[in-house]
Amino acid sequence: GQPTHLDILGERYATDDVTNITPAIVSKLTERLHTQHGHPLSTLRALIEGHYADYTHLSSFSPLVTPFKNFDELSFPKDHPGRSVTDSYYVNRDLMLRTHTSAHEVEVFGKGETKWLLTADVYRRDEIDGSHYPVFHQMEGARIFNATPTGMKEVEEDNERLSYHLARSNIVIEDVPHLAPTNPNQPEHNPLHSELVAKNLKLSLNALMLTLFGTSNRTEPLRVRWIEAYFPFTSPSFEVEVFFRGKWLEILGSGVVRQATLDTAKVPNKLGWAFGLGLERIAMILYSIPDIRLFWSKDERFLSQFQQGAITTFKPYSKYPSCFKDVSFWLPHEANLHENDFCDLIRDVTGDLVEDVKTVDRFVHPKTNRTSLCYRINYRSMDRSLSNEEVNEIQSLVVSRLKDTFGVEIR
């Protein structure tokens, strides 16, 4: 059965009916890869911090937050899917693992910070494949200005400075309007102020993209495109994509901070912007790291390839053979099983030995109303060859855990 409490980061917490944090997740909470000297995520963080050298750099906030802080303070509606236990990790009803660094916006603005970066590990329940991992790292950046003529003059001067720099760089930008009926100004804002701030956000991030992707030896211009987006805590909102090695890559989400956020933080008469970017995504591209599990590797063949401050191309050591195992089962009468629940069980039993999981078959028996599921589990270690016997043993652990946890009947 379920334990009555969980020990997390030195504290004991009571569990309840929504508890879904597994030991595999608890073991990640102390890693803080973005602070491990020499780790690619640490170098990338430092590169971005160097770009925003006059900002306050924060990186030691606890991953445990209330759902109120992760969602409500940021104007998420009560029925937002991100709140569900299938998408997020809960210690209990009142405490969860942050799903994004935006969870700290109110707190940081409330301390009086006006230009800041915050780096942290974030947690989301997800499928298993080469680019998804239930823990990843984000960087939040924000800047706010006084909503006064002096404040807006500061924005205009910064915009001029950034435009001057960008005009002399090898970059091509596809833009969208700063404000549009589908991406509106907030009613609290003077549209002229909002436009200036959205422009500042774009210029600032275009300059960051040049720092990250605009290597000096490139002949083709760097292509950056801005896309209208939606987030509950910004308006207007934008996403940024960069064309790199033949593909458009989603880099970040951003927008003009909702006034409700700044009101809750008790900072009157200001407005500004925020962005949030995923470090693994960018690091995988810059270092040519092919599988997101590698960031967690303790293998010297991985770690010894990197040194703090240098972006180098990862040389993959040989891929070990993979081994597929299928598991088919009936769920208990009228029960359901979310793929994320299955994947968390896999991660808990196998650690990082599974490369991906695919649903092979799913159907409901017309007479008994029972659901039958078949998953294909692809086992592959990043560090060594797995023997068939060893995989069979792990697979039987998976099967017995499935029976115990979900009462399934193996077919």
Judged by CB under 6 A, the chain residues 233 through 252 that form the site for ligand PHE are: 234
Query: Contacting ligand PHE (CB under 6 A), which of 71, 90, 226, 275?
Result: 275
CB nearer ligand PHE, residue 40 or residue 253 = 253
Nearer to ligand PHE, 102 or 371 (CB): 102
Least distance from ligand PHE to the Cβ atom of residue 255, Å: 5
Comparison of 193 and 258: residue with beta carbon closer to ligand PHE? 258
Q: Which of 255, 350, 357, 380 binds ligand PHE (CB under 6 A)?
A: 255
Q: How far is the CB of 238 from ligand PHE (least distance, A)?
A: 8
Residue 222: strand pairing partners:
171
Q: In the structure encoding, which two tokens stand for residue 317, read together?
A: 């050591």
Q: Decide: 236 and 186 in contact? Cβ < 8 Å.
A: no
Token code pair at residue 209: 């993209």
Q: How far is the CB of 100 from ligand PHE (least distance, A)?
A: 4
Identity of the residue, 38 or 82, whose beta carbon is nearer to ligand PHE in the bound complex: 82
Sheet-wide strand order for 64-65? 64-65, 95-97, 90-92
- Out of 42, 43, 70, 102, the only residue in the binding site for ligand PHE (CB under 6 A) is 102
Tell me the C-alpha distance between 329 and 108, whole Å: 48
Interface with ligand PHE: number of residues (CB under 6 A): 10
CB of 399 to ligand PHE, least distance (A): 35
Separation between Cα atoms, residue 46 and residue 108, nearest integer Å: 20
Question: From residue 251, how far is each of 150, 184, 206, 231, 248 by CA, in Å?
Answer: 32, 22, 11, 15, 9
Calpha distance 164→375 (Å, rounded): 55
Counting contacts by CB under 6 A, is residue 274 touching ligand PHE?
A: yes
- The reply on whether position 100 binds ligand PHE by CB under 6 A is yes
Supply the DSSP string of 228-292, one letter for each residue. Answer: E--BTTEEEEEEEEEEETTEEEEEEEEEEEPHHHHHHTT-TTEEEEEEEEEHHHHHHHHHT---G
Map the footprint of ligand PHE across residues 12-51, applying CB under 6 A: none
Q: Which two tokens stand for residue 272?
A: 């500004």
User: For residues 299-318, which are near ligand PHE according to CB under 6 A?
Assistant: none
Task: Pick from 88, 119, 200, 254 the residue near ligand PHE by CB under 6 A.
Answer: 254
Residue 108 or 402: the one with the smaller Cβ distance to ligand PHE is 108
Interface residues with ligand PHE (CB under 6 A) are 100, 102, 231, 234, 253-255, 274-276
